Amino acid sequence: MSTVTSRTRADAATEPADRRPTRRLRPRRNRSGAGVHVWDATPLTRIAIGATIILSIFPLYWMIVVASRDASAATTFPPPMTPGGNLADNVSTAINDDSSNLVKGLINSFIVSGTVAFSVVVISTLAGFAFAKLRFKGSTVLLAIILLTMAVPLQHIGIVPLYIMMIELGWVNTLQAVILPFLVNGFGIFLMRQYTIQAVPDELVEAARIDGASTLRIYWNIVLPAVRPGIAVLGLLTFMQNWNEFLWPLIALSPDNPTVQVAIQQLTTGNYSADYSMIFTGTLLSILPLLIVFIAFGKQIVGGIMEGGVKA
Protein backbone atom coordinates (compact mmCIF):
# COMPACT_ATOMS: atom_id res chain seq x y z
CA MET A 1 0.00 0.00 0.00
CA SER A 2 2.70 2.40 0.94
CA THR A 3 4.58 1.28 -2.14
CA VAL A 4 1.86 2.48 -4.44
CA THR A 5 1.60 5.79 -2.70
CA SER A 6 5.30 6.38 -2.65
CA ARG A 7 5.80 5.47 -6.25
CA THR A 8 3.17 7.92 -7.22
CA ARG A 9 4.73 10.67 -5.19
CA ALA A 10 8.21 9.85 -6.41
CA ASP A 11 6.92 9.98 -9.92
CA ALA A 12 5.48 13.36 -9.28
CA ALA A 13 8.75 14.57 -7.89
CA THR A 14 10.91 13.65 -10.84
CA GLU A 15 11.34 15.83 -13.87
CA PRO A 16 8.58 15.42 -16.37
CA ALA A 17 11.17 15.15 -19.13
CA ASP A 18 11.50 11.39 -18.84
CA ARG A 19 8.02 10.52 -17.85
CA ARG A 20 4.45 11.30 -18.53
CA PRO A 21 3.61 14.25 -16.43
CA THR A 22 1.46 13.06 -13.58
CA ARG A 23 0.96 16.27 -11.83
CA ARG A 24 -1.04 14.83 -9.10
CA LEU A 25 0.65 16.17 -6.06
CA ARG A 26 3.24 18.72 -5.15
CA PRO A 27 6.69 17.29 -4.57
CA ARG A 28 7.49 17.02 -0.91
CA ARG A 29 10.81 17.95 0.54
CA ASN A 30 11.85 18.75 3.98
CA ARG A 31 12.90 22.26 4.84
CA SER A 32 16.60 21.86 4.40
CA GLY A 33 16.21 20.06 1.13
CA ALA A 34 18.51 17.29 2.29
CA GLY A 35 18.07 13.76 1.04
CA VAL A 36 14.96 12.68 2.85
CA HIS A 37 12.62 10.00 1.75
CA VAL A 38 9.49 11.51 0.47
CA TRP A 39 7.33 8.78 1.82
CA ASP A 40 4.67 9.97 4.08
CA ALA A 41 3.88 8.30 7.35
CA THR A 42 1.37 5.55 6.77
CA PRO A 43 -1.07 4.26 9.36
CA LEU A 44 1.14 1.21 9.79
CA THR A 45 4.07 3.44 10.51
CA ARG A 46 2.10 5.40 13.03
CA ILE A 47 1.05 2.24 14.80
CA ALA A 48 4.60 0.95 14.87
CA ILE A 49 5.90 4.20 16.27
CA GLY A 50 3.09 4.37 18.77
CA ALA A 51 3.82 0.86 19.97
CA THR A 52 7.49 1.66 20.29
CA ILE A 53 6.79 4.73 22.35
CA ILE A 54 4.39 2.89 24.62
CA LEU A 55 6.85 0.06 25.21
CA SER A 56 9.61 2.56 25.85
CA ILE A 57 7.66 4.43 28.44
CA PHE A 58 5.72 1.67 30.11
CA PRO A 59 8.36 0.41 32.55
CA LEU A 60 8.93 3.97 33.68
CA TYR A 61 5.24 4.46 34.11
CA TRP A 62 5.00 1.25 36.10
CA MET A 63 7.81 2.52 38.30
CA ILE A 64 5.87 5.70 39.00
CA VAL A 65 2.67 3.78 39.71
CA VAL A 66 4.28 1.53 42.29
CA ALA A 67 6.40 4.28 43.80
CA SER A 68 3.31 6.35 44.42
CA ARG A 69 1.46 3.55 46.16
CA ASP A 70 2.35 1.19 48.96
CA ALA A 71 4.01 -2.18 49.20
CA SER A 72 0.97 -4.14 48.14
CA ALA A 73 0.85 -2.50 44.74
CA ALA A 74 3.50 -4.81 43.40
CA THR A 75 1.75 -7.97 44.51
CA THR A 76 -1.86 -7.30 43.65
CA PHE A 77 -3.53 -8.81 40.65
CA PRO A 78 -4.68 -7.29 38.43
CA PRO A 79 -1.84 -4.81 38.75
CA PRO A 80 -2.91 -1.23 39.42
CA MET A 81 -2.49 1.02 36.44
CA THR A 82 -2.87 4.44 37.92
CA PRO A 83 -0.56 6.32 40.26
CA GLY A 84 -1.58 6.66 43.86
CA GLY A 85 -0.99 9.49 46.27
CA ASN A 86 1.84 8.15 48.34
CA LEU A 87 4.77 9.52 46.43
CA ALA A 88 5.67 12.37 48.76
CA ASP A 89 5.70 10.09 51.81
CA ASN A 90 7.72 7.46 50.08
CA VAL A 91 10.24 9.98 48.87
CA SER A 92 10.79 11.38 52.32
CA THR A 93 11.20 7.89 53.80
CA ALA A 94 13.61 6.88 51.08
CA ILE A 95 15.70 9.98 51.57
CA ASN A 96 15.94 9.40 55.29
CA ASP A 97 16.72 5.73 55.06
CA ASP A 98 20.27 5.24 56.17
CA SER A 99 20.64 1.69 55.03
CA SER A 100 20.87 2.79 51.43
CA ASN A 101 22.40 6.27 51.65
CA LEU A 102 20.39 7.41 48.69
CA VAL A 103 21.09 11.09 49.10
CA LYS A 104 24.80 10.50 49.52
CA GLY A 105 24.69 8.34 46.43
CA LEU A 106 23.07 11.10 44.41
CA ILE A 107 25.55 13.69 45.60
CA ASN A 108 28.52 11.43 44.97
CA SER A 109 27.28 10.60 41.52
CA PHE A 110 26.93 14.26 40.69
CA ILE A 111 30.47 14.92 41.81
CA VAL A 112 31.92 11.88 40.10
CA SER A 113 30.01 12.12 36.84
CA GLY A 114 30.49 15.86 36.67
CA THR A 115 34.22 15.59 37.21
CA VAL A 116 34.53 12.80 34.71
CA ALA A 117 32.50 14.68 32.10
CA PHE A 118 34.49 17.84 32.56
CA SER A 119 37.85 16.09 32.48
CA VAL A 120 36.95 13.99 29.48
CA VAL A 121 35.89 17.12 27.63
CA VAL A 122 39.17 18.85 28.40
CA ILE A 123 41.28 15.85 27.43
CA SER A 124 39.24 15.15 24.33
CA THR A 125 39.25 18.70 23.03
CA LEU A 126 42.98 18.96 23.54
CA ALA A 127 43.75 15.69 21.84
CA GLY A 128 41.02 16.07 19.25
CA PHE A 129 42.45 19.39 18.21
CA ALA A 130 45.90 17.89 17.90
CA PHE A 131 44.72 15.03 15.72
CA ALA A 132 42.47 17.21 13.64
CA LYS A 133 44.54 20.22 12.86
CA LEU A 134 48.15 19.57 13.72
CA ARG A 135 50.54 17.52 11.75
CA PHE A 136 52.98 15.54 13.80
CA LYS A 137 54.93 12.40 13.43
CA GLY A 138 53.21 9.28 14.58
CA SER A 139 49.77 10.81 14.65
CA THR A 140 48.32 7.95 12.66
CA VAL A 141 49.84 5.39 14.94
CA LEU A 142 48.66 7.15 18.04
CA LEU A 143 45.18 7.48 16.62
CA ALA A 144 45.13 3.80 15.84
CA ILE A 145 46.19 3.03 19.39
CA ILE A 146 43.31 5.10 20.69
CA LEU A 147 40.95 3.18 18.47
CA LEU A 148 42.30 -0.04 19.87
CA THR A 149 41.92 1.18 23.42
CA MET A 150 38.26 1.81 22.75
CA ALA A 151 37.92 -1.88 22.17
CA VAL A 152 38.93 -2.82 25.66
CA PRO A 153 36.31 -2.58 28.39
CA LEU A 154 38.77 -1.58 31.04
CA GLN A 155 36.62 -1.89 34.06
CA HIS A 156 35.88 -5.52 33.32
CA ILE A 157 39.23 -6.77 32.11
CA GLY A 158 41.38 -4.74 34.43
CA ILE A 159 39.17 -4.94 37.47
CA VAL A 160 41.47 -7.13 39.53
CA PRO A 161 44.61 -5.01 39.19
CA LEU A 162 42.63 -1.79 39.43
CA TYR A 163 41.31 -2.98 42.74
CA ILE A 164 44.73 -4.05 43.93
CA MET A 165 46.09 -0.65 42.87
CA MET A 166 43.41 1.15 44.82
CA ILE A 167 44.21 -0.90 47.87
CA GLU A 168 47.90 -0.14 47.61
CA LEU A 169 47.21 3.56 47.16
CA GLY A 170 44.75 3.55 50.01
CA TRP A 171 42.05 4.84 47.73
CA VAL A 172 39.43 2.20 48.33
CA ASN A 173 36.14 3.87 49.15
CA THR A 174 37.28 7.26 47.88
CA LEU A 175 35.79 9.20 45.03
CA GLN A 176 39.05 9.49 43.10
CA ALA A 177 39.03 5.71 42.80
CA VAL A 178 35.85 5.90 40.76
CA ILE A 179 36.81 9.00 38.82
CA LEU A 180 40.26 8.26 37.47
CA PRO A 181 39.76 4.97 35.63
CA PHE A 182 36.89 6.49 33.68
CA LEU A 183 38.97 9.28 32.25
CA VAL A 184 40.34 6.84 29.70
CA ASN A 185 37.66 7.47 27.12
CA GLY A 186 38.78 7.22 23.51
CA PHE A 187 35.35 7.86 22.10
CA GLY A 188 35.51 11.47 23.21
CA ILE A 189 38.71 12.05 21.29
CA PHE A 190 37.17 10.71 18.12
CA LEU A 191 34.10 12.81 18.53
CA MET A 192 36.04 16.00 19.16
CA ARG A 193 38.38 15.25 16.29
CA GLN A 194 35.39 15.06 13.98
CA TYR A 195 33.92 18.25 15.29
CA THR A 196 37.20 20.07 15.07
CA ILE A 197 37.82 18.97 11.51
CA GLN A 198 34.40 20.21 10.57
CA ALA A 199 34.14 23.34 12.59
CA VAL A 200 37.60 24.82 12.34
CA PRO A 201 38.79 25.69 8.83
CA ASP A 202 42.42 24.98 8.14
CA GLU A 203 42.92 28.47 6.80
CA LEU A 204 42.00 29.98 10.09
CA VAL A 205 44.62 27.93 11.87
CA GLU A 206 47.24 28.78 9.25
CA ALA A 207 46.47 32.45 9.50
CA ALA A 208 46.75 32.35 13.26
CA ARG A 209 50.09 30.63 13.00
CA ILE A 210 51.43 33.25 10.69
CA ASP A 211 50.34 35.86 13.14
CA GLY A 212 52.53 34.13 15.67
CA ALA A 213 49.89 32.54 17.83
CA SER A 214 51.06 29.63 19.92
CA THR A 215 49.29 26.32 19.78
CA LEU A 216 47.66 26.92 23.07
CA ARG A 217 46.34 30.28 21.95
CA ILE A 218 44.90 28.71 18.84
CA TYR A 219 43.26 26.09 21.00
CA TRP A 220 41.86 28.58 23.43
CA ASN A 221 40.75 31.34 21.09
CA ILE A 222 39.83 29.55 17.93
CA VAL A 223 39.12 25.87 18.46
CA LEU A 224 37.25 25.91 21.74
CA PRO A 225 34.63 28.46 20.72
CA ALA A 226 34.11 26.70 17.42
CA VAL A 227 33.48 23.26 18.87
CA ARG A 228 31.23 24.40 21.65
CA PRO A 229 28.25 22.35 20.48
CA GLY A 230 30.46 19.29 20.37
CA ILE A 231 31.63 20.00 23.89
CA ALA A 232 28.06 20.21 25.08
CA VAL A 233 27.15 16.92 23.49
CA LEU A 234 30.26 15.11 24.68
CA GLY A 235 29.83 16.45 28.17
CA LEU A 236 26.21 15.43 28.35
CA LEU A 237 26.76 11.98 26.93
CA THR A 238 29.75 11.32 29.15
CA PHE A 239 27.84 12.50 32.20
CA MET A 240 24.95 10.23 31.41
CA GLN A 241 27.15 7.27 30.66
CA ASN A 242 29.15 7.67 33.84
CA TRP A 243 25.99 8.06 35.94
CA ASN A 244 25.17 4.53 34.91
CA GLU A 245 28.46 2.89 35.82
CA PHE A 246 27.84 0.07 38.24
CA LEU A 247 30.49 -2.63 38.31
CA TRP A 248 33.52 -0.63 39.29
CA PRO A 249 31.80 1.57 41.90
CA LEU A 250 30.33 -1.57 43.40
CA ILE A 251 33.79 -3.00 43.93
CA ALA A 252 35.68 0.14 44.80
CA LEU A 253 33.21 1.80 47.16
CA SER A 254 31.65 0.82 50.43
CA PRO A 255 27.94 0.95 51.14
CA ASP A 256 28.39 4.07 53.23
CA ASN A 257 29.93 6.05 50.40
CA PRO A 258 28.13 4.88 47.30
CA THR A 259 27.35 6.28 43.91
CA VAL A 260 23.73 6.30 42.96
CA GLN A 261 23.63 2.94 41.19
CA VAL A 262 25.19 1.21 44.18
CA ALA A 263 22.82 3.04 46.50
CA ILE A 264 19.72 1.78 44.77
CA GLN A 265 21.14 -1.71 44.67
CA GLN A 266 21.37 -1.48 48.43
CA LEU A 267 17.73 -0.56 48.59
CA THR A 268 16.94 -4.11 47.62
CA THR A 269 18.90 -5.54 50.53
CA GLY A 270 18.39 -2.92 53.19
CA ASN A 271 15.60 -1.98 55.51
CA TYR A 272 12.96 -1.93 52.83
CA SER A 273 13.95 -4.98 50.88
CA ALA A 274 10.39 -6.31 50.82
CA ASP A 275 8.72 -3.03 50.08
CA TYR A 276 8.67 -2.45 46.34
CA SER A 277 7.07 0.94 46.65
CA MET A 278 10.15 2.10 48.54
CA ILE A 279 12.54 0.42 46.17
CA PHE A 280 10.86 1.94 43.16
CA THR A 281 10.81 5.33 44.82
CA GLY A 282 14.55 5.06 45.14
CA THR A 283 14.97 4.03 41.54
CA LEU A 284 12.77 6.90 40.47
CA LEU A 285 14.92 9.34 42.41
CA SER A 286 18.00 7.92 40.77
CA ILE A 287 16.59 8.52 37.33
CA LEU A 288 15.27 12.00 37.98
CA PRO A 289 18.50 13.96 37.47
CA LEU A 290 19.16 12.29 34.15
CA LEU A 291 15.58 12.80 33.06
CA ILE A 292 15.80 16.48 33.86
CA VAL A 293 19.03 16.82 31.91
CA PHE A 294 17.44 14.91 29.09
CA ILE A 295 14.35 17.05 28.92
CA ALA A 296 16.34 20.25 29.18
CA PHE A 297 18.97 19.33 26.63
CA GLY A 298 17.06 16.77 24.63
CA LYS A 299 17.48 18.50 21.32
CA GLN A 300 21.25 18.72 21.69
CA ILE A 301 21.48 15.14 22.85
CA VAL A 302 19.47 13.86 19.93
CA GLY A 303 21.46 16.03 17.58
CA GLY A 304 24.71 14.84 19.06
CA ILE A 305 23.83 11.21 18.74
CA MET A 306 22.73 11.68 15.20
CA GLU A 307 25.91 13.49 14.27
CA GLY A 308 27.95 10.86 15.96
CA GLY A 309 26.13 8.21 14.06
CA VAL A 310 26.73 9.81 10.71
CA LYS A 311 30.39 10.16 11.35
CA ALA A 312 30.91 6.70 12.62
Partner 1 sequence: MKTAERVASEPQAQPASPVRPRNRFRRFLSLVDLKASPYLLVSPYFILFLIFGAFPLGFTLWVSLHDWQLAGDKEWIGLDNYQFLLTNERFRMTVVNTIGMFVLATVPQLLLALMVANALNKRFRGRLLIRLGVLIPMVTSVVAVAIVFSQIYGTKYGMVNWFLGNFGVDPIDWRKTSLASWVAISSMVDWRWTGYNAIIYLAAMQAIPRVLYEAATVDGASSRRQFWHITVPQLKPVIIFTVFISTIGGLTLFAEPMMFNSGRLDGGTTGQFQTVAMYIVQAFRERNNYGLAAAAAWLLFALIVVIALANYLVVNRIRESR
Partner 2 sequence: MISKAARRTKLRWLVGVAAIALLAPACGGDDDSSSGSSSDEPVTLTVNVFGGDGFGYDNLVKQYEQQHPNITVDYNVVTDDYDNEYRPQLIQQLDAGSGAGDVVAIEEQGVGQMMSMDDAWVDLSDYGLDSRESDYPAWKWDLGHTNDGKLAGLGTDVGGMAMCYRTDLFKQAGLPTNRDQVAAMWQDWDGFTQTAQKFVDSGVDSAFIDSPNQIYNIRLVQEAGNGDGTSYFDRDNNYILADSPAVKTAFDYVLQLNDMGAIGKFQNWTDEWNVAMEAGGFATMGCPAWMAGVIESTSGKQNAGNWDMAPVPGVSGNWGGSWLAVPAQSDHPEEAAALADFLTQPSSQLAAYKAISVFPSAPEAQQNPAVADSKNAYFNDAPVGQIISDSITSFQPVYYGELHSAVRAAVEDVLYGVVEGTYSDDEAWDAFVSAGQEVVDTSG
Partner touching 93 among partner 1, partner 2, none, CB below 5 to 8 Å by kind: none
* Residue 256 found at the interface with partner 2 (CB under 8 A): yes
Among 86, 215, 271, 300, the residue binding partner 1 under the rule CB under 8 A is 215
| Residue with smaller CB distance to partner 1, 10 or 207 | 10
State the sign of the Cα–Cα–Cα–Cα dihedral 94, 96, 102, 108.
Answer: positive
Query: From residue 224 to residue 263, what is the string marking binding to partner 1 with x (rule CB under 8 A)?
Result: ----------------x--xx-xx---x--------xxx-
Q: Determine if 134 is a binding residue for partner 2 (CB under 8 A).
A: no
CB of 122 to partner 2, least distance (A): 6
Asked if 34 and 24 touch (Cβ cutoff 8 Å), the reply is: no
Chain-centre distance for alpha carbon 152: 19
d(Cα 263, Cα 267) in Å, to the nearest integer? Answer: 7
Tell me the residue type at 307. Answer: E
Q: Segment 8-67, which members bind partner 1 (CB under 8 A)?
A: 10-11, 13-14, 28, 30, 34-42, 45-46, 48-49, 52-53, 55-57, 59-60, 62-63
* Interface pick for partner 1 out of 25, 107, 274, 305 (rule CB under 8 A): 305
Report the C-alpha gap between 99 and 105 in whole angstroms: 12
Pairwise CA distance, residues 96 & 88, whole Å: 13
For every residue of 201-230, DSSP letters joined together read -HHHHHHHHHTT--HHHHIIIIIHHHTHHH
CA distance 246 to 210: 49
Among 102, 115, 181, 194, binds partner 1 (CB under 8 A): 181
Residues 171-210 that bind partner 2 (CB under 8 A): 171-176, 179-180, 183
Nearest residue to 175 (alpha-carbon basis) of 112, 101, 254: 112
Nearer to partner 2, 195 or 280 (CB): 280
95 contacts partner 1 (rule: CB under 8 A)? no
DSSP, collapsed to helix, strand or coil, labels residue 120 as helix
What does 243 bind: partner 2, partner 1, none (CB cut-off 5 to 8 Å by kind)? partner 1
171, containing H or E segment? none
Residues that bind partner 2 (CB under 8 A): 71, 74-75, 98-99, 104, 108, 111, 115, 118-119, 122, 126, 167, 170-176, 179-180, 183, 214, 216-217, 220, 254-257, 266, 268-271, 273-274, 276
